[in-house]
Amino acid sequence: MNFGIDDLPVRDELRGKSPYGAPQLDVPVRLNTNENPYPLPEPLVERITERVREAARNLNRYPDRDAVELRTQLAKYLTDTAGHEVGLANVWAANGSNEVIQQLLQTFGGPGRTAIGFEPSYSMHALIARGTGTGWISGPRNDDFTIDLAAAEKAIVENRPDVVFVTTPNNPTGNAVPPETVLALYEAAQAAKPSLVVVDEAYIEFSHGDSLLPLIEGRPNLVVSRTMSKAFGAAGLRLGYFAAHPAVVDAVQLVRLPYHLSAITQATALAALEHTDTLLGYVEQLKAERDRLVTELRAIGYEVTESDANFVQFGRFEDAHTTWQQILDRGVLVRDNGVPGWLRVTAGTPEENDAFLDAVRELLSFVGDTPTLPKEQSA
Ligand SMILES: *Cc1c(COP(=O)(O)O)cnc(C)c1O
For the chain, give the number of residues: 379
Structural domain contains residue 240: yes
Q: Which amino acid is at 77?
A: Y
Mutate to test the pocket of ligand 1, among 74, 99, 228, 229 (most ligand atoms within 8 A of CB): 229
List the CATH number of the domain containing 157.
3.40.640.10
Instruction: Fill in the DSSP letter of residue 209.
Output: S
| Sign of the alpha-carbon dihedral angle for 97, 100, 102, 108 | negative
| C-alpha to C-alpha distance for 291 and 274, rounded to whole angstroms | 28
Q: What is the pLDDT of residues 276-305, one digit of tens each?
A: 999 999 999 999 999 999 999 999 999 999
Please tell me the residue having the least CA distance from ligand 1 atom 12: 202
Label the pairing between strands 135-139 and 114-118: parallel
The string of pLDDT tens digits covering residues 211-223 is 999 999 999 999 9
For residue 99, give the ligand 1 atom closest to its CA: 7
Would 50 be classed as within a structural domain? yes
Judgement on whether residues 66 and 121 belong to the same structural domain of the protein: yes
Q: Report if residue 14 sits inside a domain.
A: no
- pLDDT above 90 as % of the chain: 89
Please report the sign of the dihedral spanned by the C-alpha atoms of residue 14, residue 104, residue 336, residue 355: negative
Residue 36: CATH number of its domain: 3.90.1150.10
Please tell me whether the overall predicted TM-score, pTM, comes out greater than 0.85 for this model: yes
Residue 2 included in any domain: no
44 CA to centre of ligand 1 in angstroms = 23
Write out pLDDT tens, residues 126-160: 999 999 999 999 999 999 999 999 999 999 999 99
> Is residue 369 a part of any domain in this protein?
yes
Give the other-Cβ count within 10 Å of 369's Cβ.
5
For residue 155, give the nearest of 140, 143, 167, 142 by alpha carbon: 140
Distance (angstroms) between ligand 1 centre and the Cα of 97 equals: 6
5 occurs within a structural domain: no
Nearest CA to ligand 1 atom 14: 202
Separation of alpha carbons 284 and 267, rounded Å: 26
Backbone phi, psi, residue 43, to 5°: -60, -35
Total domain count, the chain? 2
Ligand 1 centroid–CA 133 distance in Å is 20
Domain of residue 295, residue span:
22-40+277-378
Judgement on whether residues 157 and 266 belong to the same structural domain of the protein: yes
User: For the segment 11-56, what is each residue's pLDDT rounded down to a tens digit?
Assistant: 988 888 888 777 788 999 999 999 999 999 999 999 999 999 999 9
Atom index in ligand 1 nearest the CA of residue 122 equals 13
List the one residue out of 121, 133, 104 whose CA is nearest residue 221: 104
Rounded to whole angstroms, the Cα distance separating 83 from 93 reads 20
Domain boundary among 250, 274, 298: 274
* Ligand 1 atom 7, closest CA: 96
> Do residue 49 and residue 165 come from a single domain?
yes
Q: Are residues 295 and 162 in the same domain?
A: no
Pairing between strand 311-315 and 303-304? antiparallel
User: Could you tell me how many helices (H) and strands (E) the chain has, helices first?
Assistant: 12, 12
Whether 173 and 284 share a structural domain: no
Indicate whether 243 and 116 sit together in one domain.
yes
Residue 112 lies in a domain: yes
d(CA 306, CA 349): 20
Task: Choose the final residue of a domain: 219, 242, 274.
Answer: 274
What is the 371 CA–ligand 1 centroid distance (Å)?
32
Centroid of chain to Cα 375: 29
The ligand 1 atom at the shortest distance from the C-alpha of residue 229 is: 9
Same domain for 33 and 118? Answer: no
**Judgement on whether residues 216 and 336 belong to the same structural domain of the protein:** no
CA of 148 to the centre of ligand 1 (A): 23
Mutation test of ligand 1: which of 230, 238, 308, 344 has the most ligand atoms closer than 8 Å to its C-beta?
230
Atom of ligand 1 nearest to the CA of 98: 7
Q: Are residues 147 and 236 in the same domain?
A: yes
> For residue 247, how far is its CA from the centre of ligand 1 (angstroms)?
24
- Residue 10: inside a domain, yes or no? no
Letter string b/e over residues 255-279, b meaning 16 or more CB atoms within 10 A of that residue's CB: ebeeeebebbbbbbbbbbbebbeeb
**Atom from ligand 1 closest to the CA of residue 240:** 8
Mean of the per-residue pLDDT values of the chain: 94
The SS3 assignment for 125 reads helix
| Residue that is last in its domain, among 239, 274, 309 | 274
308 and 264 in a common domain = no
Q: Are 193 and 161 contacting, i.e. CB atoms less than 8 angstroms apart?
A: yes
Residues 227 and 354 in one domain: no
CA nearest neighbour of 211 among 299, 80, 105, 101: 80
Alpha carbon of 235 to ligand 1 centroid (Å): 9
Helix or strand run (H / E) with residue 221? none
Pocket of ligand 1 (CB under 6 A): 34, 96-98, 122, 167, 171, 200, 202, 227, 229-230, 235, 240
* pLDDT tens-digit readout, 359-376: 999 987 543 434 445 554
* Residues 294 and 209 grouped into a single domain: no
Contact 228, 272 (CB under 8 A): yes
Number of Cβ within a 10 Å radius of residue 330 = 16
d(CA 150, CA 134): 25
Q: What is the pLDDT of residue 6?
A: 87
Rounded Cα distance between 34 and 286, Å, is: 11
